[in-house]
Protein backbone atom coordinates (compact mmCIF):
# COMPACT_ATOMS: atom_id res chain seq x y z
CA UNK A 1 0.00 0.00 0.00
CA UNK A 2 2.83 2.40 0.53
CA UNK A 3 5.53 1.06 -1.65
CA UNK A 4 7.75 4.02 -2.49
CA UNK A 5 7.85 4.97 -6.11
CA UNK A 6 11.34 5.79 -7.38
CA UNK A 7 11.58 9.50 -8.17
CA UNK A 8 13.24 9.92 -11.51
CA UNK A 9 13.44 13.53 -12.47
CA UNK A 10 14.44 14.32 -15.97
CA UNK A 11 15.70 17.86 -16.46
CA UNK A 12 13.41 18.59 -19.38
CA UNK A 13 10.12 17.78 -17.62
CA UNK A 14 7.74 20.74 -17.65
CA UNK A 15 7.56 22.67 -14.41
CA UNK A 16 4.65 24.59 -12.94
CA UNK A 17 4.78 27.92 -11.15
CA UNK A 18 5.87 26.12 -7.95
CA UNK A 19 8.86 24.87 -9.90
CA UNK A 20 7.54 21.33 -9.57
CA UNK A 21 7.11 18.64 -12.16
CA UNK A 22 4.13 16.36 -12.49
CA UNK A 23 6.20 13.61 -10.86
CA UNK A 24 6.40 15.71 -7.69
CA UNK A 25 2.65 15.19 -7.26
CA UNK A 26 2.83 11.45 -7.36
CA UNK A 27 2.56 9.21 -4.35
CA UNK A 28 3.33 5.62 -3.43
CA UNK A 29 3.01 2.74 -5.86
CA UNK A 30 -0.54 1.52 -6.35
CA UNK A 31 -1.34 -1.95 -5.14
CA UNK A 32 -4.71 -2.06 -6.92
CA UNK A 33 -5.40 -4.55 -9.70
CA UNK A 34 -3.81 -3.83 -13.06
CA UNK A 35 -6.25 -1.83 -15.15
CA UNK A 36 -8.29 -0.59 -12.19
CA UNK A 37 -10.19 2.57 -13.03
CA UNK A 38 -9.09 4.07 -9.74
CA UNK A 39 -5.49 4.29 -10.92
CA UNK A 40 -6.53 6.43 -13.88
CA UNK A 41 -8.33 8.74 -11.48
CA UNK A 42 -5.19 8.95 -9.35
CA UNK A 43 -3.25 9.98 -12.45
CA UNK A 44 -5.85 12.64 -13.21
CA UNK A 45 -5.59 14.01 -9.65
CA UNK A 46 -1.81 14.21 -10.02
CA UNK A 47 -2.28 16.08 -13.29
CA UNK A 48 -4.88 18.48 -11.84
CA UNK A 49 -2.76 19.33 -8.77
CA UNK A 50 0.26 19.86 -11.00
CA UNK A 51 -1.63 22.11 -13.39
CA UNK A 52 -3.06 24.14 -10.53
CA UNK A 53 0.47 24.48 -9.09
CA UNK A 54 -0.76 23.56 -5.62
CA UNK A 55 2.01 23.46 -3.04
CA UNK A 56 1.91 19.78 -1.99
CA UNK A 57 1.71 20.68 1.68
CA UNK A 58 -1.42 22.71 1.02
CA UNK A 59 -3.25 19.51 0.16
CA UNK A 60 -4.82 17.16 2.69
CA UNK A 61 -5.98 13.76 1.48
CA UNK A 62 -8.80 12.04 3.28
CA UNK A 63 -10.49 8.73 2.76
CA UNK A 64 -12.57 6.03 4.36
CA UNK A 65 -12.17 2.31 3.76
CA UNK A 66 -12.20 0.37 0.52
CA UNK A 67 -10.23 0.08 -2.72
CA UNK A 68 -10.91 3.72 -3.57
CA UNK A 69 -9.88 4.86 -0.12
CA UNK A 70 -6.46 3.27 -0.55
CA UNK A 71 -5.67 5.63 -3.40
CA UNK A 72 -4.97 8.64 -1.19
CA UNK A 73 -1.58 7.00 -0.65
CA UNK A 74 -0.89 7.09 -4.38
CA UNK A 75 -0.85 10.83 -5.04
CA UNK A 76 0.83 13.95 -3.64
CA UNK A 77 3.20 12.26 -1.21
CA UNK A 78 4.15 15.68 0.15
CA UNK A 79 0.65 16.07 1.57
CA UNK A 80 -0.68 14.70 4.83
CA UNK A 81 -3.08 11.81 4.34
CA UNK A 82 -5.74 10.29 6.52
CA UNK A 83 -7.19 6.89 5.83
CA UNK A 84 -9.97 6.87 8.43
CA UNK A 85 -12.84 4.46 9.07
CA UNK A 86 -15.47 3.09 6.72
CA UNK A 87 -17.96 5.69 5.57
CA UNK A 88 -16.84 8.36 8.02
CA UNK A 89 -14.37 10.42 6.04
CA UNK A 90 -16.81 13.35 5.69
CA UNK A 91 -16.79 13.84 9.47
CA UNK A 92 -13.00 13.86 9.53
CA UNK A 93 -13.09 16.36 6.67
CA UNK A 94 -15.52 18.65 8.50
CA UNK A 95 -13.33 18.65 11.60
CA UNK A 96 -10.11 19.09 9.64
CA UNK A 97 -11.64 21.94 7.68
CA UNK A 98 -12.91 23.50 10.90
CA UNK A 99 -9.36 23.54 12.25
CA UNK A 100 -7.69 24.83 9.08
CA UNK A 101 -9.75 26.35 6.30
CA UNK A 102 -6.76 27.11 4.10
CA UNK A 103 -5.87 23.58 2.97
CA UNK A 104 -7.22 21.90 -0.15
CA UNK A 105 -9.13 18.87 1.03
CA UNK A 106 -9.37 15.97 -1.37
CA UNK A 107 -11.65 13.25 -0.12
CA UNK A 108 -11.61 9.95 -1.95
CA UNK A 109 -14.42 7.52 -1.36
CA UNK A 110 -16.23 4.71 -3.10
CA UNK A 111 -19.78 3.61 -3.63
CA UNK A 112 -19.79 1.32 -0.58
CA UNK A 113 -18.14 3.96 1.57
CA UNK A 114 -20.39 6.80 0.40
CA UNK A 115 -23.71 5.24 -0.51
CA UNK A 116 -24.13 2.51 2.08
CA UNK A 117 -22.30 2.84 5.36
CA UNK A 118 -21.53 6.51 4.86
CA UNK A 119 -24.66 7.77 3.13
CA UNK A 120 -25.62 9.88 6.12
CA UNK A 121 -22.22 11.48 6.43
CA UNK A 122 -22.06 12.26 2.71
CA UNK A 123 -25.46 13.91 2.92
CA UNK A 124 -24.47 16.03 5.88
CA UNK A 125 -21.17 17.09 4.35
CA UNK A 126 -23.21 18.37 1.42
CA UNK A 127 -25.64 20.06 3.78
CA UNK A 128 -22.80 21.80 5.61
CA UNK A 129 -21.17 22.66 2.29
CA UNK A 130 -17.76 21.68 3.62
CA UNK A 131 -15.06 23.14 1.41
CA UNK A 132 -13.66 20.04 -0.23
CA UNK A 133 -13.35 18.01 -3.38
CA UNK A 134 -15.19 14.75 -2.83
CA UNK A 135 -14.50 11.99 -5.29
CA UNK A 136 -16.75 9.00 -5.41
CA UNK A 137 -14.94 6.28 -7.31
CA UNK A 138 -17.96 4.33 -8.36
CA UNK A 139 -17.73 0.74 -9.59
CA UNK A 140 -20.98 -0.73 -8.31
CA UNK A 141 -19.25 -3.47 -6.39
CA UNK A 142 -17.44 -4.33 -3.17
CA UNK A 143 -13.94 -5.25 -4.28
CA UNK A 144 -12.08 -6.01 -1.06
CA UNK A 145 -14.76 -8.45 0.07
CA UNK A 146 -14.89 -10.00 -3.38
CA UNK A 147 -17.78 -8.91 -5.45
CA UNK A 148 -21.00 -8.11 -3.56
CA UNK A 149 -23.27 -5.53 -5.20
CA UNK A 150 -23.03 -2.02 -3.85
CA UNK A 151 -25.86 0.48 -3.48
CA UNK A 152 -24.97 2.05 -6.83
CA UNK A 153 -25.40 -1.15 -8.83
CA UNK A 154 -28.22 -0.82 -11.33
CA UNK A 155 -31.33 -2.96 -11.03
CA UNK A 156 -30.72 -6.13 -13.04
CA UNK A 157 -26.99 -5.67 -13.34
CA UNK A 158 -25.23 -9.01 -13.23
CA UNK A 159 -22.50 -10.03 -10.84
CA UNK A 160 -19.50 -12.02 -11.93
CA UNK A 161 -21.12 -15.13 -10.50
CA UNK A 162 -24.24 -14.47 -12.58
CA UNK A 163 -26.45 -13.16 -9.79
CA UNK A 164 -28.84 -10.35 -10.73
CA UNK A 165 -29.04 -7.21 -8.61
CA UNK A 166 -32.52 -6.86 -7.17
CA UNK A 167 -32.39 -3.29 -5.88
CA UNK A 168 -32.71 0.11 -7.48
CA UNK A 169 -29.50 2.09 -7.24
CA UNK A 170 -28.84 5.17 -5.18
CA UNK A 171 -27.46 7.70 -7.62
CA UNK A 172 -25.01 10.07 -5.89
CA UNK A 173 -25.61 12.77 -8.50
CA UNK A 174 -29.38 12.77 -7.97
CA UNK A 175 -28.81 12.69 -4.24
CA UNK A 176 -26.38 15.60 -4.28
CA UNK A 177 -28.61 17.67 -6.56
CA UNK A 178 -31.66 17.10 -4.45
CA UNK A 179 -30.06 17.99 -1.13
CA UNK A 180 -28.42 21.16 -2.33
CA UNK A 181 -24.86 20.37 -3.39
CA UNK A 182 -23.20 23.36 -5.01
CA UNK A 183 -20.95 21.49 -7.42
CA UNK A 184 -22.11 18.22 -8.94
CA UNK A 185 -20.30 16.39 -11.68
CA UNK A 186 -19.98 12.91 -13.09
CA UNK A 187 -17.15 11.56 -15.10
CA UNK A 188 -15.51 8.37 -16.22
CA UNK A 189 -12.11 7.12 -15.17
CA UNK A 190 -11.32 6.42 -18.80
CA UNK A 191 -11.89 10.04 -19.85
CA UNK A 192 -8.94 11.97 -18.51
CA UNK A 193 -9.64 14.91 -20.82
CA UNK A 194 -12.97 15.46 -19.18
CA UNK A 195 -11.86 14.52 -15.68
CA UNK A 196 -8.82 16.79 -15.22
CA UNK A 197 -10.68 20.10 -15.78
CA UNK A 198 -13.50 18.86 -13.55
CA UNK A 199 -11.03 18.06 -10.77
CA UNK A 200 -9.44 21.47 -11.12
CA UNK A 201 -12.76 23.25 -11.02
CA UNK A 202 -13.85 21.13 -8.07
CA UNK A 203 -10.66 21.92 -6.17
CA UNK A 204 -11.20 25.63 -6.68
CA UNK A 205 -14.90 25.53 -5.91
CA UNK A 206 -15.85 27.23 -2.67
CA UNK A 207 -17.89 24.60 -0.93
CA UNK A 208 -18.54 20.92 -1.44
CA UNK A 209 -17.67 19.61 -4.90
CA UNK A 210 -18.88 16.13 -5.66
CA UNK A 211 -17.55 14.24 -8.63
CA UNK A 212 -19.04 10.81 -9.15
CA UNK A 213 -16.50 8.97 -11.24
CA UNK A 214 -17.54 5.75 -12.95
CA UNK A 215 -14.51 3.60 -12.40
CA UNK A 216 -14.86 0.00 -13.55
CA UNK A 217 -13.61 -2.79 -11.35
CA UNK A 218 -11.58 -5.02 -13.65
CA UNK A 219 -11.67 -7.96 -11.27
CA UNK A 220 -15.29 -8.13 -10.12
CA UNK A 221 -17.43 -5.97 -12.34
CA UNK A 222 -16.09 -5.77 -15.88
CA UNK A 223 -18.02 -8.60 -17.47
CA UNK A 224 -20.92 -8.95 -19.86
CA UNK A 225 -24.17 -8.06 -18.09
CA UNK A 226 -22.59 -5.52 -15.77
CA UNK A 227 -23.74 -1.93 -16.14
CA UNK A 228 -20.48 -0.63 -14.67
CA UNK A 229 -18.08 -2.38 -17.06
CA UNK A 230 -15.69 -0.43 -19.25
CA UNK A 231 -17.61 -1.50 -22.34
CA UNK A 232 -21.05 -0.64 -20.98
CA UNK A 233 -20.01 2.70 -19.51
CA UNK A 234 -18.25 3.76 -22.73
CA UNK A 235 -21.32 2.96 -24.77
CA UNK A 236 -23.77 4.69 -22.45
CA UNK A 237 -22.08 7.97 -21.68
CA UNK A 238 -23.97 11.15 -22.39
CA UNK A 239 -22.30 14.50 -21.92
CA UNK A 240 -24.47 17.61 -22.18
CA UNK A 241 -21.70 20.09 -21.40
CA UNK A 242 -17.95 20.09 -21.63
CA UNK A 243 -16.22 22.01 -18.87
CA UNK A 244 -12.96 23.86 -18.98
CA UNK A 245 -11.34 25.32 -15.96
CA UNK A 246 -9.74 28.60 -16.97
CA UNK A 247 -7.23 30.55 -15.00
CA UNK A 248 -7.95 34.19 -15.75
CA UNK A 249 -4.30 34.97 -15.52
CA UNK A 250 -3.88 33.25 -18.85
CA UNK A 251 -5.53 34.17 -22.10
CA UNK A 252 -8.95 32.62 -22.49
CA UNK A 253 -8.95 30.56 -25.61
CA UNK A 254 -12.31 29.13 -26.34
CA UNK A 255 -13.09 27.83 -29.75
CA UNK A 256 -16.78 27.51 -29.14
CA UNK A 257 -19.38 29.00 -31.41
CA UNK A 258 -21.61 31.86 -30.26
CA UNK A 259 -24.25 30.79 -27.72
CA UNK A 260 -22.48 27.53 -27.10
CA UNK A 261 -20.42 28.58 -24.11
CA UNK A 262 -21.48 29.58 -20.61
CA UNK A 263 -18.91 31.18 -18.36
CA UNK A 264 -19.26 30.77 -14.62
CA UNK A 265 -17.13 32.91 -12.31
CA UNK A 266 -15.66 31.17 -9.34
CA UNK A 267 -14.84 32.83 -6.04
CA UNK A 268 -11.10 32.61 -6.60
CA UNK A 269 -11.36 34.87 -9.65
CA UNK A 270 -11.06 31.94 -12.03
CA UNK A 271 -13.70 30.81 -14.41
CA UNK A 272 -15.26 27.67 -15.60
CA UNK A 273 -16.22 27.72 -19.22
CA UNK A 274 -18.93 25.27 -20.06
CA UNK A 275 -19.48 24.25 -23.62
CA UNK A 276 -23.00 23.15 -24.29
CA UNK A 277 -23.14 19.96 -26.26
CA UNK A 278 -26.88 19.79 -25.72
CA UNK A 279 -28.43 23.21 -26.40
CA UNK A 280 -31.31 22.66 -23.97
CA UNK A 281 -29.01 22.04 -21.03
CA UNK A 282 -28.37 24.67 -18.36
CA UNK A 283 -25.89 23.55 -15.68
CA UNK A 284 -26.86 26.42 -13.40
CA UNK A 285 -30.50 25.29 -13.14
CA UNK A 286 -30.76 22.71 -10.37
CA UNK A 287 -34.30 21.56 -11.06
CA UNK A 288 -33.69 21.09 -14.77
CA UNK A 289 -30.39 19.34 -14.11
CA UNK A 290 -32.21 16.92 -11.84
CA UNK A 291 -34.85 16.22 -14.47
CA UNK A 292 -32.28 15.85 -17.19
CA UNK A 293 -30.21 13.31 -15.29
CA UNK A 294 -33.32 11.33 -14.38
CA UNK A 295 -34.50 11.23 -17.97
CA UNK A 296 -31.18 9.85 -19.11
CA UNK A 297 -31.03 7.32 -16.30
CA UNK A 298 -34.40 6.06 -17.55
CA UNK A 299 -32.73 5.52 -20.93
CA UNK A 300 -29.87 3.63 -19.32
CA UNK A 301 -27.43 6.46 -19.91
CA UNK A 302 -24.84 7.99 -17.58
CA UNK A 303 -24.87 11.77 -17.87
CA UNK A 304 -21.33 13.04 -17.41
CA UNK A 305 -19.66 16.41 -17.22
CA UNK A 306 -20.28 19.34 -14.92
CA UNK A 307 -23.94 18.72 -14.21
CA UNK A 308 -24.60 21.54 -11.78
CA UNK A 309 -22.64 24.52 -10.54
CA UNK A 310 -24.02 27.09 -8.13
CA UNK A 311 -21.54 29.37 -6.45
CA UNK A 312 -24.06 31.20 -4.29
CA UNK A 313 -24.55 29.11 -1.18
CA UNK A 314 -22.55 29.90 1.93
CA UNK A 315 -19.91 27.35 2.68
CA UNK A 316 -19.11 25.74 6.03
CA UNK A 317 -16.90 28.55 7.30
CA UNK A 318 -19.14 31.34 6.11
CA UNK A 319 -21.98 29.78 8.05
CA UNK A 320 -19.84 29.62 11.15
CA UNK A 321 -18.37 33.11 10.71
CA UNK A 322 -14.85 31.92 11.37
CA UNK A 323 -11.89 34.22 10.70
CA UNK A 324 -9.63 33.90 7.67
CA UNK A 325 -6.81 32.81 9.94
CA UNK A 326 -7.16 29.09 10.61
CA UNK A 327 -8.46 28.24 14.07
CA UNK A 328 -5.50 25.93 14.62
CA UNK A 329 -3.09 28.84 14.43
CA UNK A 330 -4.89 31.44 16.54
CA UNK A 331 -2.59 32.47 19.38
CA UNK A 332 -3.70 31.19 22.77
CA UNK A 333 -3.89 34.77 24.04
CA UNK A 334 -6.82 35.30 21.67
CA UNK A 335 -8.61 32.25 23.01
CA UNK A 336 -8.27 32.49 26.78
CA UNK A 337 -10.24 35.23 28.53
CA UNK A 338 -7.75 35.31 31.44
CA UNK A 339 -8.07 35.49 35.22
CA UNK A 340 -9.77 38.88 35.47
CA UNK A 341 -12.61 37.82 33.26
CA UNK A 342 -12.91 34.51 35.09
CA UNK A 343 -13.67 36.57 38.17
CA UNK A 344 -16.44 38.42 36.40
CA UNK A 345 -17.85 35.23 34.86
CA UNK A 346 -18.08 33.64 38.31
CA UNK A 347 -19.70 36.74 39.73
CA UNK A 348 -22.80 36.05 37.69
CA UNK A 349 -23.21 32.73 39.49
CA UNK A 350 -23.16 34.02 43.06
# residues near another protein by CB under 8 A: 61
Figure out which of the listed residues 18, 178, 284, 322 binds another protein, where binding follows CB under 8 A: 322
Q: In the stretch 87-126, what mask flags binding to another protein with x, by CB under 8 A?
A: -x-xxxxxxxxxxx-xx----------------xx-xx--
Span near another protein by CB under 8 A; candidates 83-91, 145-153, 217-225, 306-314: 83-91
In the complex, least distance from residue 314 CB atom to another protein, rounded to whole angstroms = 14
Figure out which of the listed residues 8, 34, 298, 334 binds another protein, where binding follows CB under 8 A: 334
Collapsing DSSP to helix, strand or coil, 132 comes out as strand
Note whether 327 binds another protein by CB under 8 A: yes
- Compute the C-alpha angle 35/37/41, nearest 5°: 125
Note whether 19 binds another protein by CB under 8 A: no
Span near another protein by CB under 8 A; candidates 143-151, 184-192, 195-203, 340-348: 340-348
Nearer to another protein by C-beta: 164 or 341?
A: 341
Say if CB 213 and CB 43 are below 8 A apart: no
The helix or strand, by DSSP H or E, that contains position 332, with its residue range, turns out to be helix 332-335
Collapsing DSSP to helix, strand or coil, 155 comes out as coil
In the complex, least distance from residue 76 CB atom to another protein, rounded to whole angstroms = 8
Say how many C-beta atoms besides its own lie within 10 A of residue 215's C-beta: 30
The helix or strand, by DSSP H or E, that contains position 184, with its residue range, turns out to be strand 183-188
Note whether 350 binds another protein by CB under 8 A: yes
Figure out which of the listed residues 5, 80, 234, 236 binds another protein, where binding follows CB under 8 A: 80
The DSSP bridge partners found for residue 214 are 138, 188
Say if CB 304 and CB 283 are below 8 A apart: no
Q: What is the DSSP string of 49-106?
A: HHHTT--GGGEEEEE-SSHHHHGGGGB-TTSEEEE-STT-HHHHHHHHHHH-TTSEEE
Note whether 77 binds another protein by CB under 8 A: yes
Say if CB 85 and CB 65 are below 8 A apart: yes
Figure out which of the listed residues 5, 22, 39, 78 binds another protein, where binding follows CB under 8 A: 78
The helix or strand, by DSSP H or E, that contains position 123, with its residue range, turns out to be helix 119-128
Q: Which of 264, 301, 261, 265 is nearest to 279 (CA)?
A: 261
Of residues 47 through 76, those in contact with another protein by CB under 8 A are 56-58, 60, 62, 72-73
Note whether 85 binds another protein by CB under 8 A: yes
Which residues form the interface with another protein (CB under 8 A)?
Answer: 1-2, 56-58, 60, 62, 72-73, 77-85, 88, 90-100, 102-103, 120-121, 123-124, 128, 317, 320-323, 327-330, 332, 334-339, 341-343, 345-347, 349-350
Amino acid sequence: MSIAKPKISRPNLPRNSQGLTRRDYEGGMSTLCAGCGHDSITAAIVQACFELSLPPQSVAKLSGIGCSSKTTAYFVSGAHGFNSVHGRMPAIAAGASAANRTLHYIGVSGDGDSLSIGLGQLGHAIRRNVDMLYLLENNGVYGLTKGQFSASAELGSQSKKGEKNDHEPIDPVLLALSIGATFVARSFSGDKEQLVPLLKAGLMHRGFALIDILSPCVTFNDHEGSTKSYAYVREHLHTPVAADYIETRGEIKVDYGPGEAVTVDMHDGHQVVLKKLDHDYDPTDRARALGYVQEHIARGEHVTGLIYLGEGRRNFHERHQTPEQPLNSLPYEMLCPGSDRLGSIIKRYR
